[in-house]
Amino acid sequence: MSIEELTDAEFLLLGLVSEMPRHGYELEQVIEERGMREWTSIGFSSIYFVLGKLEKKGLIASKKPAGAKARKVFSMTNAGRQTLVAQTLAAIRDIRPTYPSVLLGMAHWPILERSQALDALRARADAVKGEITRLENTLFARQPLPDFVEALFEYSIGQLKAEAEWTQKTLEYMETKPWA
């Protein structure tokens, strides 16, 4: 059986279902409690849509417990486990390129007036510092967290700190260059 690559939303939900059988509302609660929206994009309204896709692929199965108000509960299949293990190993091991919009902005730097360009870079530096502070405060407020969840926050904070350093160096360099 060939293992199909999952979207980020599918990967996230399959992993959460692997922990224990859950219904969609429970998945939303876990996403919220663990601060997962800080590093992945999945809306509450798309959870059931994605669960349906995973079920259609045979990676999870659903069962509706008895009772009029009972919610459909999703659990992982053997194929889901194999796919999740393969995708998890690849996600940890492999580098996947990302394309932040700042790179496109810098590619079009010459279209801007000097003051516009430098002001935009200064605003980005401030925004990055603000986001670092916000994430650090969020991390602190959600303690205690499992080690692997804390590592997710630390990764995001580390990425932002690297961006803050790049932004500051780029700003200092561009401020000293004659405008061409």
Pairing of the two strands 73-76 and 60-63: antiparallel
Q: Are residue 71 and residue 131 in the same domain, yes or no?
A: no
Block residue for tokens 């990425």: 159
For the segment 126-154, what is each residue's pLDDT rounded down to a tens digit? 999 999 999 999 999 988 988 988 998 99
Q: Is 108 in contact with 24 (CB distance < 8 Å)?
A: no
pLDDT of residue 68: 59
For the segment 96-127, what is each residue's pLDDT rounded down to a tens digit? 888 889 999 999 999 999 999 999 999 999 99
Q: Are residue 125 and residue 145 in the same domain, yes or no?
A: yes
Q: Are residue 120 and residue 152 in the same domain, yes or no?
A: yes
**How large a percentage of the chain has pLDDT more than 90?**
68
Question: What is the pTM assigned to this prediction?
Answer: 0.76
Query: Using CA atoms, how far apart are residues 43 and 149, in angstroms rounded to an integer?
Result: 19
Q: Are residue 14 and residue 81 in the same domain, yes or no?
A: yes
